[in-house]
Structure 1
Amino acid sequence: MIRHGTRYGMTLRVGAALSFSLMYALMKWAATLEPVSAGEMVFYRSLFGLPVVLIWVSSARGGLASISTRKPMVHVWRCALGVSGILLIFQGLRLLPLADATTIGFTSPIFATLLSILFLKEVVGRHRWAAVVLGFVGVLIMVRPGAEGAPPLSGVLFALGGAFVAASVTVTLRQLGKTESPTAIVFWFFVACLVVGGSLTLIDGHTSSWTVLAILAAGGLAGGLAQLLMTTSLQHAPVSALAPLDYLQMVGAVVLGWLLLNDAPTMATLGGAALIAGSGLYTAWREHVLKRDITPPSGSAV
C-alpha cells in the first residue's frame, strides 16, 4: 500500500516530469522560430527559473542560510559539470527532434553505472550489465547508423555527451549530498547557469522577437518549477518509487513534439525509447532489490 506521503511525493514527481517536458518543448519551439543558441537557452532557463528557486529557498528551513556551503570547491566542480552538461543537452535539442533528444537523455543511468564502477568502486553484476547492453542497443536502433533519414550524428553525439555529463553529476551529487542541502546545490547551479549562459549570450546571442522571448521565458519558468518539484518530491517519497515516473518525460516529449512542432516520432525512435526505458527501469528495480541508492534516470536536472 502506498503511504500518503509517498503518494504526494509521486504526484510532485509527475509534475516535475511534465514540467521538464514542457521546458524542453518550449526551448525547441523557440529554436525552430529563430536561431536561438544553446547558450541563450541556458541563460533564459536560469534567468526566469531562478525566481522560482529563490521563492523555494526563502521558504526552506533556515531561509537564505540554507544556501551556505562547507565545500565551495566541490560546488564549483559540480556546477562546471552541470553547466557543461546542460549546454550539450540543449545543443542536442537544437539538432534533433524533441522525442529523440529526450530519449537519448535517458541513457544517463547507463553511463552512471559505468562511472560507479570506475569512481565508486561498485560491483556490477550480470543483471546491471544486461541493462547497460539493452540501453545501448536501444540507442543504436534510434540512431540507425548509415540509414536513410537517420537523426544527424552531431546531434546524437551532443545528446549522448550531455547524458554522460549528467551521469557524472549524479556521481558527484552522491558525495556532495552527504554534507550539502538540496537548496544550496540547486541555487548555486542556477547561479552558475545564469553567469555562464549570460556570458555566452553576450558573445553569441541575438535580439529575439517578443514572441520568442515569451516562449523562452515560459520555458525558464517551467524549468524552475520542474527543479523545485523534483527536489521536493525526494522529501516525501523514496527514489525507488519516484524514478520510474521520470520516464513520463518521454511521453510528454512525444505529445508536445506532435502538438507544438508537428513532429511525430518514428518507429525507430519508439522502439529505441522502449529499450532505453526498459534498461533504466530494470536498473532501478535491481537497485531497489539490493537496497542501494538508485541513480535517478532523468538527465534533465543536471
Structure 2
Amino acid sequence: AGGMPTRQRPIYALGLRLMAMLALSVMLLLVKLTGEHGIGLPETLFWRQFLPGIALLGWLAARGEIGRLYTKRPLIHARRALIGGLGMFLTLGVVQILPLAEATVLGFTAPIFAVLLAVVLLGEKVGLWRWTAVALGLIGIVIIAGPDRAHLPFSGLATGIGAAFMVALISIQLRDLGRTEEPVSIVFWFSAFCAPPMALFMLWTGLPHHDAAGWAMLGGIGATGLAAQLLMTAALRYGSVSSVIVMDYSQFGWATLWGWLVFAHVPPAQTWIGAPAIIAAGLIIAWREQVRGSAAGSRPPAA
C-alpha cells in the first residue's frame, strides 16, 4: 500500500502542516492542564496512544479496509515505536516542567540534531551553511537558558533538548518507513506498540477516578494528537520536508498565545532573543536540504 506516487501540491501541503501545528499546540496545552489536574504522565501517554489507535481501527473496519494496516516490516514499526514512545514521554513531559513557549522553542532544535545524526548515522558531508546553522541554534539555546535558573530549570532544559534529539532520530526512521507504508499504517502501529507498555506503567501510578473535566482533557489529547499525526504525515505526501517545515515554527506563536491566555505567562526577553536564532537555524537547514534535493541529479553540495 502507498506505492503509487503522489502528485506534489506544495500550497496544500503547507496548509496541512499549519493545521497540524495548531492541533499539536492544543494537545500540548491539554497535556499541561492534565498535569495541573493531577493526572499522571503515563496515563496521559496511554490515552494519547490508545484513543487514536482505536479510532483508526474502527474507521478502517467500518470502511472494510483493515487490510491497509498489513505490513511486512513489523520490527521496523516496533523500533520506531520504542524510540517514538521515549520521544513522546520527553515531549509531553517538558510541557509539564516549562512554560509552553519555552518548551516549544526547545523542540525547534530537532533540525540541528538531525544534521548531527546525518553525519554520525548516514555519513553525510556537511558544509559551511549547515555547520553555521548548528552553531546559531546552539547560541540560541544558550541565550534562552540564560543565567536565571528559576526561569528555565536544568531538568526542563535537559528534557526539552532530549525530546528534540529523539524527534530528529524518529525523522530518520519515518523517512525509511514512508517509502513502503501508508500514513494510516504508520500512525496505527505506533499506537498499537506504545499503548500496552503505557498501560503497564499505570499499575504503578494508579488510575484515579477523574471528573468530567479530566476525561474531557484526556479525550482531547487523543483527538488532537491523532489529528496532528495524520495531518503531518499527509503533508509529507504532498510536499517535501524541507518545503513544509517552515510551518512548524508557527507553533511558537500558538504556544505563546495559549500560555498568555490560559496561564498568564509572557516569555521573558531572553526567549524572544534566543527563539529567532533557533528558528533561523532551522530555516537555514531546511533551505540547504531543498538546495541539496534539487541538486540530487548532479553532485549534491556538502552544505
Normalising by the smaller structure, the TM-score range is 0.7 to 0.9
**What's the counterpart of residue 215 of structure 1?**
217
Quote how far apart the aligned CAs of 1:187 are: 1.0
Query: CA–CA distance in 2 between the matches of 1:138 and 1:258?
Result: 22
**Residue of structure 2 aligned with 1:132, choices 131, 134, 157:** 134
Size of the alignment, in residue pairs? 288
1:194 aligns with 2:195: yes
**What's the counterpart of residue 43 of structure 1?**
46
Residues 92-135 of structure 1, C-alpha deviations (whole Å, 9 max, x = no match): 11111111111111111111111111111111101000001111
1:29-178 equivalent positions in 2, closer than 5 A? 29-32=33-36, 34-54=37-57, 63-144=65-146, 146-147=147-148, 149-178=150-179
SS in 2 for 1:263: coil
Quote how far apart the aligned CAs of 1:289 are: 1.2
User: Aligned in 2, Cα 1:292/1:110: closer, same or farther, shift over 3 Å?
Assistant: farther
Quote how far apart the aligned CAs of 1:257 are: 1.2
**2:82 and 2:194 in contact (8 A); partners too:** no
Larger mean CA deviation between 114-123 and 9-18 belongs to 9-18
**2:27 and 2:220 in contact (8 A); partners too:** yes
1:216-235 equivalent positions in 2, closer than 5 A? 216-235=218-237
Quote how far apart the aligned CAs of 1:4 are: 9.4
Q: Counterpart of 1:136 in structure 2: which amino acid? A: L
Consecutive unaligned residues in structure 1, runs of 5 or more: 294-302
The TM-score with structure 1 as length reference comes to 0.88
Quote how far apart the aligned CAs of 1:37 are: 2.5
**2:183 and 2:230 in contact (8 A); partners too:** no
**What's the counterpart of residue 296 of structure 1?**
none
**What's the counterpart of residue 289 of structure 2?**
287
User: Aligned in 2, Cα 1:55/1:107: closer, same or farther, shift over 3 Å?
Assistant: farther
**What's the counterpart of residue 180 of structure 1?**
181
**What's the counterpart of residue 22 of structure 1?**
26
**Residue of structure 2 aligned with 1:278, choices 261, 277, 280:** 280
Query: CA–CA distance in 2 between the matches of 1:281 and 1:216?
Result: 33
Q: Counterpart of 2:38 in structure 1: which amino acid? A: P
Query: CA–CA distance in 2 between the matches of 1:4 and 1:290?
Result: 18
User: Aligned in 2, Cα 1:134/1:205: closer, same or farther, shift over 3 Å?
Assistant: farther
SS in 2 for 1:235: helix
**2:184 and 2:230 in contact (8 A); partners too:** no
**1:138 and 1:276 in contact (8 A); partners too:** yes
Quote how far apart the aligned CAs of 1:58 are: 5.9
**2:23 and 2:228 in contact (8 A); partners too:** yes
Query: CA–CA distance in 1 between the matches of 2:16 and 2:239?
Result: 10
Quote how far apart the aligned CAs of 1:216 are: 2.1
**1:56 and 1:228 in contact (8 A); partners too:** no
Larger mean CA deviation between 45-54 and 112-121 belongs to 45-54
Consecutive unaligned residues in structure 2, runs of 5 or more: 1-6, 296-303
Residues 238-291 of structure 1, C-alpha deviations (whole Å, 9 max, x = no match): 333311011111111001111122221111122221111111011101111111
SS in 1 for 2:254: helix
**Residue of structure 1 aligned with 2:15, choices 11, 15, 23:** 11
Q: Counterpart of 2:22 in structure 1: which amino acid? A: L
User: Aligned in 2, Cα 1:214/1:193: closer, same or farther, shift over 3 Å?
Assistant: same
**What's the counterpart of residue 297 of structure 1?**
none
**2:25 and 2:251 in contact (8 A); partners too:** yes
Quote how far apart the aligned CAs of 1:81 are: 0.3
SS in 1 for 2:238: coil
**1:70 and 1:179 in contact (8 A); partners too:** no
Q: Counterpart of 1:63 in structure 2: which amino acid? A: E
Query: CA–CA distance in 1 between the matches of 2:166 and 2:265?
Result: 27
Q: Counterpart of 1:118 in structure 2: which amino acid? A: V
Residues 33-63 of structure 1, C-alpha deviations (whole Å, 9 max, x = no match): x233321221121233334444665699x93
Larger mean CA deviation between 181-190 and 19-28 belongs to 181-190
User: Aligned in 2, Cα 1:252/1:205: closer, same or farther, shift over 3 Å?
Assistant: farther
